[in-house]
């Protein structure tokens, strides 16, 4: 069946990998005799189930919203488009939110890609490097005129997103496994902050000023620059309150001082 | 387990608290490293807490040693970092492939055991051992397909890989049973012919019947207790080669920790029967 000549192993693997995802074996391929055996289905089923199980584990709020049957049918289509590139299946499905955004049967659920993005941010926060969250006391101890000139990096596990089109945070947080149904949802834009200040990922709603503040911090801006960005987004933003909320959420990691002149240049 | 071989358990997150608290002498745990190749967070903290109390073995499913390509350097690098962090007592992988041209197929896929593949796998095992600076063990996978282009028998192939690379072997007794039943050869003859001196670890697990084909196709499903036939083969094996670190694997339909621990105790007890008495 397979002559033992140089390169035959690669050809075998090309044909076998194709047959795994094809509903029917290619008649002329080097593995057609294998794919015709009933037992070939064991490999087809195991590969497909492994990928779908991983997507279901990585996108629990999406799965809960659409139901297991719908989810697994959609996931099977995604798997055929995009097998895992990495055997750590926790990382599988980075493109699944984009897939849902262009997936015709999901068109009636326009909030689904946003919910998927928050599921993905949860996974990123969960597996991010360990880092001690910035102690609020370290910021409180700064002289008021020094505050605007320091740079605070977002915590390695902090993730945030603003959703202009729907109350994604409320829909998502109500569909994580351990949440309970709440009152009717107020249809408005929402943002979310996910962080891992201690052992596990925690989350809270975040307004657009907060998102702009963290975007500026992530870009390496000073606290002064971040405050400016927040006020640009919402002229009435309460920066003191925002800082205190972000600190209490564990959104910050390293604090560094830069010299006064470059701080002023930034602003 | 470095002195007296003992029995261990495959570990799932659901059993973390019970596993951490279990005081049994010689108890060790095995995990799939792929689930822990992350930068930080609770998964790694959990594994490190277990490691602080019990020996841990890393049993890989994704190095794809039988692919006609080198192991993915990114994956191998992350595995090396985990090995440095956890300092596992054993590291193992499979005589199979899964990653091919950048795509990971979550299964242990078969290939024709040819001389060409032997050269490639020898090179891949050597690269892995060099990168990890450790000897690894290679496991016999479960077989479902009749592949007529095998140029080598599985035992000779594994022994030759061990001879060429210095790797040891992991003998999965349930895989022997499933494969022999599916492909129609003698389980006893396979167990009796396996080179005992190369066996660094033994795996025991449960299997199931294919939902459509029934008894004619057994699936290595790890979703049931170890079967009586596999226990009998295990006993036959260790009476011949002596005790070896032995793992109870369970991945699906997970029972409580005590139920799995009872299976572990059974393996432990079988290993403690003196060879003279057993003979």
pLDDT of A22 reads 85
List Cβ<8 Å contacts ≥24 apart for A227-231. Answer: A227/A148, A228/A267
Q: Mind listing the pLDDT tens digit for each residue in B34-51?
A: 999 999 999 999 999 999
Contact state of A13 with B102 under an 8 Å Cβ cutoff: no
Integer angstrom CA distances of residue B107 from A80, B48, B99, B182, B271:
16, 27, 9, 18, 31
The separation between CA B3 and the C-alpha centre of its own chain, rounded to angstroms, equals 20
Integer angstrom CA distances of residue B259 from A92, A244, B46, B127, B269:
32, 49, 22, 39, 16
pLDDT of B58 reads 98
Residues B106-111 have a mean pLDDT of 98
How far is the C-alpha of B229 from the C-alpha of A225, rounded, in Å? 71
pLDDT of B145 reads 96
Residues of chain B found within 8 Å of residue A36, distances taken between Cβ atoms: none
Which of A9, A21, A38, A27 shows the shortest CA–CA distance to B149? A9
Residues of chain B found within 8 Å of residue A33, distances taken between Cβ atoms: 148
Q: How far is B243 from chain A (nearest CA, A)?
A: 33
B267 DSSP assignment = H
Q: Which residues contact B74 (CB under 8 A, 6 or more apart)?
A: A86
Contact state of B144 with A43 under an 8 Å Cβ cutoff: yes
Q: Out of B40, B75, B105, whose CB is closest to A47?
A: B105
Give backbone dihedrals phi and psi of A68, rounded to 5 degrees, phi first.
-65, -40
Whether the per-residue pLDDT at A116 is higher than 50: the answer is yes
What is the ipTM, given to two decimal places? 0.95
Does residue A84 belong to the interface with chain B, where contact is any CB pair within 8 Å? yes
Residues of chain A found within 8 Å of residue B100, distances taken between Cβ atoms: 13-14, 17
How confident is the prediction for chain B on average, in pLDDT? 95
Q: Mind listing the pLDDT tens digit for each residue in B69-102?
A: 999 999 999 999 999 999 999 999 999 999 999 9
DSSP string, B65-81: TTSSSPPPHHHHHHHHH
Length of chain A: 267
Q: Mind listing the pLDDT tens digit for each residue in B211-243?
A: 888 889 999 999 999 999 999 999 999 999 999
Q: Are the CB atoms for B40 and B79 separated by under 8 Å?
A: no
**Global pTM?**
0.93
How far is the C-alpha of B66 from the C-alpha of B1, rounded, in Å? 30
pLDDT band at A4 (very low <50, low <70, confident <90, very high): very low
Q: How far is A15 from chain B (nearest CA, A)?
A: 11
Note which residues in 14-33 of chain A have CB less than 8 A from chain B: 14, 16-17, 20, 33
Q: Are the CB atoms for B34 and A87 separated by under 8 Å?
A: yes
> Which among B43, B101, B116, B216 is the top mutation candidate for probing chain A, defined by the most A β-carbons within 10 Å of its own β-carbon?
B116
Contact state of B107 with A90 under an 8 Å Cβ cutoff: no
């Amino acid at each position: 069946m397979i002559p033992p000549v140089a390169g035959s192993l690669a050809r075998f693997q090309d044909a076998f990998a194709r047959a795994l995802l094809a509903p029917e074996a290619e008649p002329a391929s080097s593995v057609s005799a294998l794919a015709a055996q009933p037992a070939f289905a064991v490999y087809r089923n195991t590969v497909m189930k492994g990928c779908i199980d991983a997507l279901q584990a990585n996108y629990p709020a999406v799965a809960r919203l659409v139901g297991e049957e719908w989810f697994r049918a959609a996931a099977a289509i995604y798997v055929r488009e995009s097998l895992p590139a990495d055997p750590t299946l926790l990382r599988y499905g980075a493109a699944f939110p984009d897939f849902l955004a262009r997936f015709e049967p999901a068109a009636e659920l326009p909030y689904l890609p946003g919910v998927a993005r928050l599921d993905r941010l949860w996974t990123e926060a969960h597996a991010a490097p360990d880092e001690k969250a910035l102690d609020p006391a370290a910021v409180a101890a700064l002289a008021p005129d020094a505050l605007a000139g320091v740079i605070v990096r977002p915590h390695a596990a902090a993730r945030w997103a603003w959703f202009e089109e729907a109350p994604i945070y409320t829909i998502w947080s109500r569909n994580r496994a351990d949440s309970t149904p709440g009152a009717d949802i107020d249809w408005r834009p929402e943002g979310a902050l996910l962080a891992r200040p201690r052992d596990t990922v925690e989350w809270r709603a975040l307004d657009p000023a907060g998102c702009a503040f963290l975007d500026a911090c992530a870009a390496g801006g000073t606290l002064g620059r971040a405050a400016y960005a927040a006020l640009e987004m919402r002229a009435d933003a309460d920066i003191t309150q925002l800082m205190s909320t972000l600190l209490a959420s564990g959104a910050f990691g390293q604090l560094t001082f830069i010299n006064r002149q470059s701080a002023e240049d930034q602003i | 387990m470095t002195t007296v071989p003992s029995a261990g358990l495959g570990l799932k997150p659901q059993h973390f608290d019970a596993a951490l608290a279990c005081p049994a002498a010689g108890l060790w745990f095995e995990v799939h490293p792929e689930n822990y190749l992350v930068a930080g967070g609770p998964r790694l903290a959990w594994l490190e807490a277990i490691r602080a109390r019990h020996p841990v073995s890393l049993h890989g499913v994704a190095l794809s040693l039988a692919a006609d390509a080198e192991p993915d350097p990114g994956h191998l690098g992350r595995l090396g970092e985990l090995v440095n962090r956890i300092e596992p007592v054993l590291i193992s992988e499979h005589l199979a492939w899964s990653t091919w041209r950048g795509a990971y197929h979550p299964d242990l896929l078969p290939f024709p055991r040819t001389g060409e593949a032997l050269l490639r796998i020898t090179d891949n095992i050597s690269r892995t051992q060099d990168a990890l600076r450790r000897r690894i063990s290679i496991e016999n996978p479960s077989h479902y397909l009749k592949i007529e282009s095998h140029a080598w028998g599985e035992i000779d192939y594994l022994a030759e890989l061990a001879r060429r690379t210095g790797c040891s072997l992991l003998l999965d007794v349930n895989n022997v049973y499933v494969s022999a039943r599916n492909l129609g050869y003698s389980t006893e003859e396979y167990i009796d012919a396996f080179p005992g001196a190369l066996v660094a670890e033994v795996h025991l697990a449960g299997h199931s019947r294919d939902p459509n084909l029934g008894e004619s196709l057994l699936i290595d499903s790890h979703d049931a207790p170890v079967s009586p036939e596999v226990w009998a083969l295990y006993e036959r094996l260790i009476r011949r080669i002596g005790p070896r670190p032995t793992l109870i694997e369970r991945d699906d339909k997970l029972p409580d920790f005590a139920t799995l621990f009872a299976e572990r105790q059974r393996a432990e007890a079988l290993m403690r029967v003196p060879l003279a008495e057993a003979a």
